[in-house]
């Protein structure tokens, strides 16, 4: 890379636009030093294993870099070339280099791999620092980035804290987990960019919910970032410009002003119903990850909460929340909605959504946690935890209209068992005088694994409603990890396989006479909404910030035309044609 740390020239880094918006502010890099790096002694008999563990981390890092290299090669221009050079340099550092040999020697002497990496990096960086050569000084960032990658492959990072961040900062980090993002105060954090992560992961969802612009999957990021320098982050285009020129600042200020103007005109739709031009009424609701978003949902005209991701109650804490604590948190949401319906999903922990509070007792170090003890499977295994949550939810049902939603259902039996458990808990609450006699709230299932979609006809007989989770449905159907930047380009909710599963679910819901909504990120994409409506969906739930745009789109739509567009799309097996049909339809209608 031609840019040196002493160089004030602009550097443009490209990544995945994960949460829209433009922010211009000071850079706040979260140093790799924040990683918790364990340090312990390895007995003589275990050293070969430790060396093996280190080799696996190196192999993993080389693989990740090779994939990034491929991805960046597909991008045009000098940025691709510069980042490509940088990644080549990183691979060289990991291939039989002095750095690797130094780390191996430390492990051989009895130091654990993480600490050996830390010391090896520190030694070489120190030597480079002692040489007053701008070129070598520039390589220190590279060495540190390589070290972080290795340590990331060896350990899990602890939760960072963002309280001390200067107002309006752009946080730059190798990775930000969903729990990290939940700690961000939108009044303080202007935006964030990371090396790891994909647009449909929970970090991205959290950023969109909080309205914090974000760019994920940016290679070469830490190299270009210097604390306090000015940067422009464009979460819509997926770009971050460090040390921008005056002309770039002026251009992005103008873009930002246009965006704000656009949002203000959409905000005027708040009081209007989501009616198509020919009078079909669509219900628009908000998803919330954190209680603070209830205000946002209301401000954007949500008709209710279509999805409460209850994971927030378990994040960033060391003890499990009691029934009363959960009741209070949920009651605040239901009360704030003032009689509008609230759909509360039971705990969806596991996979990428692992909260620290579970780590010691329930940690899942299996190779495929997303296919493991996640969501309802976790709840059915840990029934005491589930019973506590259900009791809190049932008590909240006395305060307003709620529905209970079960995540990651894959067969009818799970629903039957859960229904029985919920009824038992209701009876016990009534018997102990903590709940007045009342019917159970509607119990629905998330349709988010292909098995559930394909068994939707049978599930329709045991569920009161369906909520299609297109985020996981896409991930599990296409075998693409939604949070993995390496395969982000293959993540595609418009893949014909995903669309057929949605169609099957909608038809099964109609046959069973139960409501079907979509609550995955697809629901908040105004370009895709005509297709969903055309397939027969009449309720959508999304990040509150997406509501005005989606409502604007619905009000410009004719439902007959949307149906014909959906029919044309469903007869296609060619993914590229699907995009063309949808784009043409949107262009024509918006004309
Ligand atoms: C989904 O999978 O589409 C969904 C809404 O659930 P989550 O994003 O919380 O997994
Ligand atoms: Mg899901």
Give, using CA atoms, the residue closest to atom 3 of ligand 1.
469
Distance in Å, CA 154 to ligand 1 centroid: 28
State pLDDT tens for residues 456-479.
999 999 999 999 999 999 999 999
Residues 6+ away with beta carbon under 8 Å from 125: 140, 143, 144
Confidence of residue 590 (pLDDT cuts 50, 70, 90): low
SS (H, E, C) 198-260: CCCCHHHHHHHHHCCCEEECCCCHHHHCCCCCEEEEECCCCEEEECCCHHHHHHHHHHHHHHH
- Specify the pTM: 0.70
Q: Which ligand is nearest to the CA of 408?
A: 2
Contact 17, 234 (CB under 8 A): yes
341 lines ligand 1 (CB under 6 A): no
CA-521 nearest atom, ligand 1: 3
Distance in Å, CA 205 to ligand 2 centroid: 11
CA–centroid distance for 85 within its chain: 30
Contact 589, 556 (CB under 8 A): yes
| Beta partners for residue 111, in sequence order | 41
CA-311 nearest atom, ligand 1: 9
Q: What is the pLDDT of residue 3?
A: 43
472 lines ligand 1 (CB under 6 A): yes
Distance in Å, CA 474 to ligand 2 centroid: 10
Confidence of residue 134 (pLDDT cuts 50, 70, 90): low
| Beta partners for residue 482, in sequence order | none
Q: And the tokens for 227? A: 């604390």
Q: What is the pLDDT of residue 129?
A: 76
Distance in Å, CA 175 to ligand 2 centroid: 21
Three-state SS at 404: strand
Catalytic hit among 202, 256, 495, 565: 202
Q: What is the pLDDT of residue 5?
A: 45
State pLDDT tens for residues 303-343.
999 999 999 898 877 789 999 999 999 999 999 999 999 99
CA-522 nearest atom, ligand 1: 3
**Mean pLDDT confidence for 152-170:** 71
Q: What is the pLDDT of residue 34?
A: 53
348 lines ligand 1 (CB under 6 A): yes
Q: Which CATH architecture has domain 2-32+160-265?
A: 3-Layer(bba) Sandwich (3.50)
Which strands form 11-14's sheet, in the order they lie side by side? 11-14, 239-242, 230-234, 22-29, 169-173, 189-194, 214-216, 16-19
- How many CA atoms does the CB half-sphere of 350 hold within 13 Å? 25
State pLDDT tens for residues 393-448.
999 999 999 999 999 999 999 999 999 999 999 999 999 999 999 999 999 999 99
Question: E strands, 275-365, where?
Answer: 283-288, 305-309, 342-345
**CATH number of the domain located at residue range(s) 274-590 in this protein:** 3.20.20.60
DSSP 170: E
470 lines ligand 1 (CB under 6 A): yes
Q: What is the pLDDT of residue 2?
A: 40
Q: And the tokens for 116? A: 């050996």
| Cα dist from 59 to 56, 220, 340, 393, whole Å | 5, 19, 53, 46
448 lines ligand 1 (CB under 6 A): yes
**Mean pLDDT confidence for 134-163:** 68
In a mutational test of the pocket of ligand 1, which residue from 202, 204, 469, 473 has the highest number of ligand atoms less than 8 Å from its CB?
Answer: 469
Distance in Å, CA 465 to ligand 2 centroid: 16
Q: Kindly report the CATH class assigned to 44-155.
A: mainly alpha
Mark whether 565 is an active-site residue.
no
Tell me, yes or no, if the two domains 2-32+160-265 and 44-155 fold the same way: no
CA distance 481 to 400: 37
Indicate the burial class of 377 (C-beta count within 10 angstroms; 0-12, 13-18, 19 or more): middle
**Mean pLDDT confidence for 218-234:** 90
283 lines ligand 1 (CB under 6 A): no
The DSSP line for 526-539 is TTTHHHHHHTT--E
**Mean pLDDT confidence for 244-251:** 95
Contact 440, 460 (CB under 8 A): no
Indicate the burial class of 579 (C-beta count within 10 angstroms; 0-12, 13-18, 19 or more): middle
Q: Which ligand is nearest to the CA of 467?
A: 1
Apex 300 CA angle, 298 and 303, nearest 5: 60
State pLDDT tens for residues 533-555.
999 999 999 999 899 999 999 99
| Cα dist from 517 to 302, 317, 342, 557, 562, whole Å | 15, 32, 14, 19, 17
Q: What is the pLDDT of residue 328?
A: 96
Residue given tokens 């002493």 in the structure block:
6
Write down how long the chain is. 591
Residue given tokens 């209070």 in the structure block:
328
141, pLDDT greater than 80: no
| Cα dist from 450 to 243, 353, 409, 506, whole Å | 46, 20, 10, 14
Residues 6+ away with beta carbon under 8 Å from 560: 278
Three-state SS at 146: helix
Catalytic hit among 13, 90, 300, 519: 519
Q: And the tokens for 390? A: 């259900």
Q: And the tokens for 555? A: 């009000």
| Cα dist from 24 to 11, 313, 504, whole Å | 14, 32, 45
Residues 6+ away with beta carbon under 8 Å from 534: 559, 562, 563, 564, 565, 566, 567, 569
CA–centroid distance for 27 within its chain: 22
Distance in Å, CA 260 to ligand 2 centroid: 31
The dihedral built from the CA positions of residue 87, 92, 93 and 96, taken in this order, carries a sign that is positive
14 lines ligand 1 (CB under 6 A): no
**Mean pLDDT confidence for 195-209:** 81
Q: Greater confidence, 111 or 138?
A: 111
CA distance 224 to 557: 45
108, pLDDT greater than 80: yes
Phi, psi of 193 (to 5 degrees): -135, 145
Residue given tokens 């609450």 in the structure block:
429
Q: And the tokens for 206? A: 């959290």
Q: What is the pLDDT of residue 486?
A: 83
CA distance 82 to 3: 9
178 closest CA partner among 214, 225, 219, 221:
214
Q: What is the pLDDT of residue 33?
A: 44
How do the domains of the chain map onto residue ranges? 2-32+160-265, 44-155, 274-590
Contact 209, 31 (CB under 8 A): no
């Amino acid at each position: 890379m031609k840019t040196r740390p002493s160089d004030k020239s602009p550097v443009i880094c490209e990544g995945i636009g994960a949460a829209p918006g433009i922010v211009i502010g000071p850079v706040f890099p979260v140093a790799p030093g924040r990683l918790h790096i364990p340090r312990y002694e390895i007995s003589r008999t275990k050293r070969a294993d430790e060396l093996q563990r280190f080799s696996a981390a190196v192999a993993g890092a080389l693989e990740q870099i090779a994939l990034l290299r491929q991805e960046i090669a597909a991008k045009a221009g000098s940025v691709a070339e510069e980042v490509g050079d940088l990644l080549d340099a990183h691979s060289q550092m990991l291939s039989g280099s002095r750095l690797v040999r130094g780390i191996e020697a430390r492990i051989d002497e009895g130091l654990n791999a993480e600490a050996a990496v830390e010391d090896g990096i520190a030694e070489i960086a120190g030597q480079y620092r002692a040489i007053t050569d701008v070129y070598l000084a520039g390589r220190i960032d590279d060495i540190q980035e390589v070290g972080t990658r290795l340590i990331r492959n060896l350990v899990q990072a602890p939760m960072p804290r963002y309280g001390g961040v200067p107002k309006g900062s752009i946080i730059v980090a190798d990775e930000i987990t969903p729990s990290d993002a939940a700690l961000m105060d939108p009044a303080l954090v202007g935006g964030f960019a990371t090396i790891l992560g994909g647009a449909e992961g929970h970090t991205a969802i959290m950023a969109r919910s909080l309205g914090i612009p974000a760019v994920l999957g940016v290679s070469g990021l830490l190299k270009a970032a210097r604390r306090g320098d000015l940067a422009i982050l464009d979460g819509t285009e997926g770009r971050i410009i460090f040390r921008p020129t005056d002309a770039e600042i002026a251009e992005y200020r103008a873009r930002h002003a246009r965006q704000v103007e656009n949002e203000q005109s959409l905000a005027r739709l708040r009081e209007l119903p989501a009616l198509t031009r020919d009078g079909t009424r669509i219900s628009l609701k908000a998803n919330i990850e954190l209680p603070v978003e209830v205000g946002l949902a209301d401000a954007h005209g949500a008709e209710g909460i279509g999805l409460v991701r209850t994971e927030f109650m378990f994040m960033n804490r060391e003890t499990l929340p009691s029934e009363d604590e959960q009741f209070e948190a949920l009651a605040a949401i239901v009360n704030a909605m003032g009689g509008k319906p609230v759909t509360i999903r039971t705990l969806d922990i596991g996979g990428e959504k692992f909260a620290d509070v579970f780590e010691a007792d329930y940690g899942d170090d299996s190779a495929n946690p997303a296919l493991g003890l996640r969501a309802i499977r976790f709840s059915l295994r840990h029934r005491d935890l589930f019973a506590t949550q259900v009791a809190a939810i049932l008590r909240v049902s006395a305060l307003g209209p709620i529905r209970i939603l079960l995540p990651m259902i894959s067969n009818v039996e799970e629903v039957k068992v859960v229904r029985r458990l919920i009824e038992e808990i209701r009876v016990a609450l009534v018997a102990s005088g903590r709940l007045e006699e009342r019917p159970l709230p509607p119990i629905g299932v998330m349709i988010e694994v292909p098995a559930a979609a394909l068994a939707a006809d049978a599930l329709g007989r045991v569920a009161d409603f369906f909520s299609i989770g297109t985020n996981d449905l896409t991930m599990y159907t296409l075998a693409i990890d939604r949070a993995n930047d390496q395969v982000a380009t293959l993540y595609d909710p418009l893949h014909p396989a995903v669309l057929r599963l949605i169609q099957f679910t909608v038809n099964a819901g109609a046959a069973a006479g139960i409501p079907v909504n979509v609550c995955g990120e697809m629901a908040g994409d105004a370009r895709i909404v005509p297709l969903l409506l055309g397939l027969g969906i009449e309720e959508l739930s999304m990040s509150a910030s997406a509501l005005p745009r989606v409502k604007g789109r619905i009000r410009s739509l004719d439902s007959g035309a949307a149906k014909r567009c959906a029919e044309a799309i469903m007869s296609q097996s060619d993914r590229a044609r699907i995009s063309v049909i949808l784009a043409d339809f949107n262009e024509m209608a918006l004309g």
